[in-house]
Homo-oligomer: A and B are copies of this chain.
Amino acid sequence: MTKEKRYQHITKFTVAVDCIVFGFDGTRLKILLVKRGLEPEKGKWSLMGGFVNDSESTDTAANRILKSLTGLEGIYLEQYHTFSSPDRDPVQRTISVAYFALIDINKYQESINTDFEAQWFNIKEFPQLIFDHNDMVHLAQKKLQYKAASHTILFELLPEKFTLPLLQSLFEDVFNTSFDKGNFSRKMLSTKLLIKQKEKDKSNSKKGAFYYKLDKKHYQENLHKILKLIPNPNQIL
């Protein structure tokens, strides 16, 4: 069998990228969904996605798609799974490489692109999505928990300056549990990743809580390291 003959028989697929965009509004973990503007399933909610172009890697495509939706560049993006069930897209055979993204919700600019109608939903209560997008969200949530249990990625969801109580409420919502505030604060500070600021945030209490910033240098160095950031992971994950 010649090389040409072999290659002739090979099925070709359209390749899509779908993005689960996580945000945190100060209280709840959210995902960004779009209302589909084209068939099939026009008018239904879905993840933000698109097709991979000729000259692109999926990473490049994901960044491009994310920028078209949020206007943001340099977002934290992580490829986490490729979905390829033969019947996942009823119109045509498509495989989808799924990414999750973490953004500071405050930086998100609405309607920079009017092609899609986008909206934030609580991760715990979002509408029925098209195709296998519900599965994609659930797996993304699991992967986020798994990764965040030992890596310091959740800071990507916070603004530059944040308080310890805010950080704790983020962790509590991501892991769907609650922590002792004293122990949480001590564990976080022991990582040496936080730099205490002079100012306080007094919007939530009378005493006010000190702002902290991330030590970017230290953060980059320790991103990959295993830290035990959450108590009793087995009870949660």
Contacts and interface: CB of A to CB of B under 8 A. Distances in A.
Given A82-B58, A84-B57, A234-B225, A15 B13 contact: yes
A155 interface: no
A6 B38 contact: yes
A84 B55 CA distance: 10
Contacts of A6: 38
B86 A55 contact: yes
A57 B79 contact: no
Nearest to A97: B82
Contacts of A10: 14, 51
A60 to B, nearest CB: 9
Q: Which label, helix, strand, loop or mixed, suits the secondary structure of the A interface?
A: loop
Contacts of A56: 86
A5 to B, nearest CB: 11
Copies in the complex: 2
A46 B58 CA distance: 23
Interface in A211-237: 224-227, 233-234, 237
Interface residues of A, number: 39
A200 B6 CA distance: 52
Nearest to A9: B51
30 contacts: A3-B39, A6-B38, A10-B14, A10-B51, A11-B14, A11-B51, A11-B52, A11-B53, A11-B54, A12-B13, A13-B14, A13-B15, A13-B52, A15-B84, A15-B95, A52-B84, A54-B86, A55-B86, A56-B86, A57-B86, A58-B95, A59-B84, A79-B81, A82-B82, A82-B97, A225-B234, A225-B237, A226-B233, A226-B237, A227-B234
Given A54-B86, A225-B237, A227-B234, 18 more contacts: A7-B92, A11-B15, A11-B54, A12-B15, A13-B15, A13-B52, A52-B84, A56-B86, A57-B86, A58-B84, A58-B95, A59-B84, A79-B82, A84-B97, A95-B97, A225-B234, A226-B234, A226-B237
